[in-house]
Chain A
Amino acid sequence: MAISEGNLDKPKIQVDNLCLWYGSFQALKSINACFRDRIITAIIGPSGCGKSTLLRVFNRMNDLVEGVRTSGKVLIEDISISDNNIDLVSLRKKVGMVFQRPNPFPLSIYENIVFGPRIHGSMNKSELDEIVEESLKSVLLWDELKSKLDNPALSLSLEQKQRLCIARLIAVKSDILLMDEPCSALDPYATARIEELMRELKNRYTIIIVTHNMQQAARISDEAGFMLLGELIEFGATENIFTRPTNKLTEDYITGRYG
């Protein structure tokens, strides 16, 4: 995934005219957007606006739901991911997801991190040890946990669990991180620490975060999109969205008139 400095502005993910239906309900309406590499893009909007659904398009997690149909195009590094015959395993390796509730497996810390690499076929103990160290270092947990790798992951604090979930993605060498309200189960202090981590990670990863915490979006994102009732109302630099939105609906939401 070596991307030269020159094409940082090239879109990592490009969405063209994307529509999505759950049965007869249309959850996404003609979405057009570009998500750039190595920045944090936030998607904001009220509950039920389709922001999580949009996020789940990028790693095809919507496939797990019955009766989902999509139309339009989604390109990740110029490769269409909407085809039926794309390799979902490598797509999901590349595009990792952090969920709302920290959800480590009921295994040891070590086993949680090597779960992905094992699934994808690396079995060598020293290789796995290295992956564990590297992944935990990336999420700044190594020093705290290096002597407790065999402890149950469920004994960790919520914040540590969420970091562990991020480490689990780093272990499979994802380069796009989808975060679905990753801090909504955390207290403000833990939230601040996870945000710090996200800033750290954005030098190496493309991060897309869904949040209904507008302060959070303003604090950490470089670009932001505002969604309402399945439509992407406005998309652009975070500063512009929050200081001079062009759309009346965005302005109403930002200023807290609804949502």
Chain B
Amino acid sequence: MRNPKRAEKIAFFFLFLATLLIVVPVGLIVVIIIQKGSPAINWQFLTDIPRQGMRAGGILPAIVGTVYLVLGAIIFALPIGVLSAVYLSEYAKDNFLTRIIKLAIINLAGVPSVVYGLFGLALFVVFFRFGASILSGSLTLGIMILPIIITTSREALESVPYSFREVSRSLGASKWQSISSIVLPNAISGILTGTILGLGRAAGETAPILFTVAAFYLPQLPSSIFHQAMALPYHLYVISTQVPNVDEKIRYGTALVLLALVLFMNLVAIIIRYKFRKKKKW
């Protein structure tokens, strides 16, 4: 390629094309789900229990179940994840123990989600005798999203300039005071980004909740964390493969609700993040 201007144009074209190709599947998924699912969406669909063997009625128990599970997973994973990220990036010295911990986190991220399901079954359902319950499911999902939260929180903490810590210490602040009053507030938007990613994953996974919480069909809403619950991804799986003659629009409607729910939760986290960013006086 002798002509640099032409080379530039060709490079630009391929780079742009590659980026554009990412947009296509995302756009198609959203368009198809909205197109096929929106006819199912009405007030009854969102607020009623499933009826006629899940071929009619609503999906309220599955919506509520997923909300509970995601909130449970975040309540469990966010504090543990952030605290361990603080330990790893601010306190831990580079020694054998630290390397073991880091290795464990990397491995945790690489475990297939169905293995989490089996692990949750063995540990929470059977060993701790929580049974198949919202508690077991939340803890299983929480462990699954821990590596996401730890990794993104560590990156966020490490991107806070060293000089902030230095000045803070030079003004007489202890290490923990420096972390809690300067480092963490400056890392919070990065930490929330990790939380958003974790949230989306917890809401969408089927395998980890399969053995630990998900109910095939429940006519009422769960009233305790020791109860089983329905969940949107599992419900979607059930009405798509286990129950014959379910109207297509109900399946796509369920998918649309799941998508909207994840988007809504992300939106909440994004608004919180925006508030924090505004408080930060760059």
Give the residues in chain A near B167, CB-CB below 8 Å.
99, 103, 105, 165, 168
Distance between Cα atoms of A99 and B170 in the complex (Å):
10
**B170 and A154: CB pair below 8 A?**
no
Bitwise interface map of B from 66 to 105 toward A, beta carbon under 8 Å scored 1, else 0: 0000000000000000000000000001000000000000
Q: Check B281 against A152 for contact (C-beta < 8 Å).
A: yes
Q: Output the nearest chain B residue to A115 by Cβ-Cβ distance.
A: B171
Instruction: Pick the contact of A61: B93, B163, B166, B182 (CB < 8 A).
Output: B166
C-alpha gap A168/B168 in the complex (Å): 11
Residues on A with C-beta less than 8 A from B9 are: none
CB of A120 within 8 Å of the partner chain = yes
Residue on B nearest A88 in the bound complex, by CB = B172
Contact with A along B229-263 (1 / 0, CB 8 A): 00000000000000000000000000000000000
CB distance from A28 to the nearest CB of B (A): 19
Which chain B residues border A120 with CB–CB below 8 Å? 172
Contact B163 A101 (CB under 8 A): yes
A105-B182, A107-B281, A152-B282 known; A119-B177 Cβ under 8 A: yes
Which of B161, B171, B173, B280 counts the most chain A CB atoms within 10 A?
B171
In the assembled complex, B181 has its CB within 8 A of some CB on chain A: yes
A96 is an interface residue with CB less than 8 A from chain B: yes
Q: How far is the CA of A169 from the CA of B170 in the complex (A)?
A: 9
A96 touches B280 (CB 8 A): no
Cβ of B164 under 8 Å from chain A: yes
Q: Kindly state whether residue B186 has any CB partner on chain A within 8 Å.
A: yes
A172 contacts B by Cβ under 8 Å: yes
A162 interfacial by beta-carbon distance below 8 Å: no
The interface residues of chain A lying within 8 Å CB-to-CB of B159 are none
Residues of B within 8 A of A96 (CB): 170-171
Q: Decide if A232 is an interface residue (CB 8 Å cutoff).
A: no
Q: Is residue B174 contacting chain A, with contact meaning CB distance below 8 A?
A: yes
* A92 and B171 form a contact (CB under 8 A): yes
A82 at interface by CB-CB < 8 Å: no
Contacts of A169 in B (CB 8 A): 171
For chain B, the bracket of interface size reads: 20 to 34
Using known A-B contacts A96-B171, A172-B172, determine if residue A108 contacts B166 with beta carbons closer than 8 Å: no
A3 within 8 A of partner (CB): no
Question: Which residue of the partner chain A has the closest CB to B173?
Answer: A119
Q: Which of B21-74 contact A (CB under 8 A)?
A: none
Contact pattern, A 115-140, Cβ under 8 Å of B = 1, otherwise 0: 11011100000000000000000000
Contact partner, A103, options B164, B172, B281, Cβ 8 Å? B164
Q: Is the CB of A106 within 8 A of B280?
A: yes
Contacts of B173 in A (CB 8 A): 116, 119
Measured CB to CB, the nearest residue on chain A to B93 is A66
Interface string of B173-193 (1 = CB under 8 A from A): 110010001100010000000
Decide if A99 touches B163 in the complex (CB within 8 Å).
yes
Q: Are B169 and A119 in contact (CB under 8 A)?
A: no
Least CB distance from A116 to B in Å reads: 4
Assembly CA distance A155 to B281 (angstroms): 9
A92 touches B170 (CB 8 A): yes
* Contact status B166-A119, CB under 8 Å: no
Interface centre among A103, A119, A169 (most CB of B within 10 A): A119
A218 vs chain B, min Cβ distance (A): 28
Measured between beta carbons, the chain A residues less than 8 angstroms from B177 are 119
A237 interface residue per 8 A CB criterion: no
Cβ of A185 to closest chain B Cβ, rounded Å:
12
Interface check A211, CB cutoff 8 A = no
Asked if residues A168 and B171 are in contact (CB atoms below 8 Å), the reply is yes
User: Chain B residue with minimal CB distance to A94?
Assistant: B172
A103 to B182 Cα, complex, angstroms:
13
Q: Please tell me if the beta carbons of B181 and A64 are within 8 angstroms of each other in the complex.
A: no
Q: How far is the CA of A4 from the CA of B186 in the complex (A)?
A: 44
Enumerate chain B residues within 8 angstroms of A88, measured Cβ to Cβ: 172
10 pairs from A and B in contact (CB 8 Å cutoff): A61-B166, A93-B171, A99-B163, A99-B170, A106-B282, A107-B280, A107-B281, A119-B171, A119-B173, A154-B282
B interface, CB within 8 angstroms of A? 93, 161, 163-164, 166-174, 177, 181-182, 186, 280-282
18 A-B pairs besides A103-B166, A120-B172 with CB distance below 8 A are: A61-B169, A91-B172, A92-B171, A99-B167, A103-B161, A103-B163, A105-B164, A106-B186, A107-B280, A108-B281, A111-B281, A115-B171, A116-B172, A119-B168, A119-B171, A119-B172, A119-B177, A152-B281
Q: Which 5 A-B pairs have the closest CB atoms?
A: A152-B281, A92-B172, A116-B171, A97-B170, A93-B172
